[in-house]
Amino acid sequence: MRALTVMPGRAGSARLDETPDPAADEGPVLVRTLAVGICGTDVEIVSGRYGWAPPGQDRLIIGHESVGRVEDAPANCGLSTGDLVVGIVRRPDPVPCRYCAAGEWDMCANGRYSERGIKELNGYASDRFRIEPAFALRIDPSLGLLGVLLEPASVVAKAWDHVERIGSRSGAWAPRTVLVTGAGPIGLLAALIGQQRGLEVHVMDRVTSGPKPQLVRDLGGTYHAGHLPDDIDFAPDVIIECTGAPSVVLDALNRNTPSGIVCLAGISSGQHRIHLDVGVLNKSMVLENDAVFGSVNANRRHYEIAAEVLAKADKDWLSRLISRRVPLTHWAEAFDRHPDDVKVVLDFTL
């Protein structure tokens, strides 16, 4: 079968390989891949800055945002031939730590978790993959290829879940306004959840044209192009920072309102530094009960929440998030950034 592989740590090593069929020990459910989404993490892996091959191997099959159709499944496992499924990314660490033992691998405390297509486990960017039933999620068949948005949606479903848990530290918490920084797939899906929660939605992104402004407006939100003016006329109760860009992170911290919550959901490249006066930040955070926290990955419960979010969303709006579908044979084009890109997917059916 065809598989997109890289030698982690080596830029320029990505190639389309012919590999043996997935090994039986990867799980009893056999899935035919329909599409795999490409995100910033994949770009980092392909450029040699992130990723780990399975132990004892040189190459890693990439791809962690999946959607596929079950070709074979054991009886009574909860999945049947023909089901539309998405694979969960992370697997618990072998110890396991107390979080992984409780099915909360997204909170793994010892860093020994593994991740399909990222860390020590082959991913989903192959014609077929195998998976354990507990790590595959059956989704609404009407989503079709849009199911590829489930993994990024699970990441923001977790972010929102934790925002709400932190917010409930006060019985009087009643958020009205959310500010999302970054209008990539993560930011737009965070905005979608904000809209579904009935909040006033503001999204800021550096781009001034292309599909993003209208995608935000079609959610009923306000798009702020380029940057936020100093004198904004709204007070965000929640800020979800999705760029990982240090200057935007700092701006998000500075925009926090008393008792506000800032969720950092973007992974920085580590290539830019910025000066931060920790004393000033500490003073305002303490005196205003501010909360700032980081959020990564998702557990099965978050995938289930995300599946509901996608099932409820307008399908036309969701389909506009997929700005390019690239056939696997042309995989390299999926890694070129085009100005109007939102989510680029490798389409295994083309």
Name the residues that contact ligand BGC, by CB under 6 A.
Answer: 39, 41, 64, 89-90, 115, 118, 151, 155, 296-297
Q: Rank residues 234 and 293 by Cβ distance to ligand BGC and give the closer one.
A: 293
Least distance from C-beta 318 to ligand BGC, angstroms?
18
Q: Tokens 């980081």 sit at which residue?
A: 294
Cis peptide before 96 (omega within 30 of 0): yes
Q: Rank residues 281 and 296 by Cβ distance to ligand BGC and give the closer one.
A: 296
Least distance from C-beta 344 to ligand BGC, angstroms?
14
Which residue number has the CB closest to ligand BGC?
41
The 10 Å CB-count burial string (b at 16+, else e) for 241-260 is: bbbbbbebbebbbebbbebb
Least distance from C-beta 41 to ligand BGC, angstroms?
3
Least distance from C-beta 241 to ligand BGC, angstroms?
15
Q: Rank residues 33 and 297 by Cβ distance to ligand BGC and give the closer one.
A: 297
Q: Give dist(CA 154, CA 301) in Å, integer.
A: 9
Q: Rank residues 114 and 256 by Cβ distance to ligand BGC and give the closer one.
A: 114
Angstrom distances, CA of residue 268 to CA of 155, 271, 274: 16, 8, 12
Least distance from C-beta 187 to ligand BGC, angstroms?
14
Least distance from C-beta 240 to ligand BGC, angstroms?
15
Contact 205, 212 (CB under 8 A): yes
Q: Give dist(CA 106, CA 110) in Å, integer.
A: 11
Q: Rank residues 83 and 115 by Cβ distance to ligand BGC and give the closer one.
A: 115
φ/ψ (deg, to 5) at 128? -135, 150
Give the distance, in angstroms, between the CA of residue 77 and the centroid of all CA atoms in the same chain: 27
- Measured from the Cβ of residue 141, the count of other Cβ atoms closer than 10 Å reads 11
Q: Rank residues 147 and 213 by Cβ distance to ligand BGC and give the closer one.
A: 147
